[in-house]
Amino acid sequence: MASTRRRRSLTKSVKFANDEDSGHEDLQLLKPALRIGNFARYGNTIFQIREPKEDSIYCRALEVIAVIFVFLLVYACYFHYEAVHFHVAKGYGHLGYASAQHVVGQRLLTGRGATKNGTEAMRWFKYAADQGHAEASFNLAVGHIHGEKTGLKPGQTVHLLKHAKKHGVEGVDHALNLCARRNCDI
């Protein structure tokens, strides 16, 4: 004879006068819950419903700081778009994205969103050109022709221009003609 043991429940099972003893206890669990105050009745069992705790002061402070941060971010994006775009592109450039490195170079060359700096722009163009970015190759070669410090070796300027021409960058023919008239390897 197997002894059946029941675990003690933390809630009390209460039998109501209007409950029928049909022998189908599992059907009574399918009855909809009846809520009375802080108690809910499921079948013949009554459970106490716990009210959710109020958030702590640290949680509320964190929420307020997050909302203020979002408002400041929206303000910066709306009123200082050029600077935000430059810094986001620079972040992606540091991750190694060639198109972002090219954008950073353009921003530094034109001074949009950042302080104008031709040497730094050529460095970013070199990063992108080393990954095969055609427009960055063109900009790096043109910068070298105009006398910017690029660190290119002799013959590399023509190679960069031919790479840009192969990928359909406009203005390469003019730069190649300029390179033929002058010595590109300054």
Domains, in order of start, for the chain: 10-52 (no CATH), 81-181 (1.25.40.10)
How do residues 34-50 score in pLDDT, each as one tens digit? 666 677 777 677 777 77
Q: Edge to edge, what strands does the sheet with 39-42 contain?
A: 34-36, 39-42, 45-48
129-158 exposure pattern, b = at least 16 Cβ within 10 A, e = fewer: beeebbbbbbbbbbbbbeebebebeeebbb
In the chain, the amino acid numbered 132 is G
C-alpha to C-alpha distance for 98 and 95, rounded to whole angstroms: 9
Cβ neighbours of residue 138 under 8 Å, at least 6 residues apart? 160, 161, 164, 169, 171, 172, 175
Which pLDDT score is estimated for 155?
84
8 Å CB contact between 44 and 38: no
Burial class (CB in 10 A: 0-12, 13-18, 19+), 184: buried
Query: Average pLDDT, stretch 113-117?
Result: 93
8 Å CB contact between 129 and 164: no
Query: Average pLDDT, stretch 107-115?
Result: 93
How do residues 125-171 score in pLDDT, each as one tens digit? 999 999 999 999 999 999 988 888 888 888 898 899 999 999 999 98
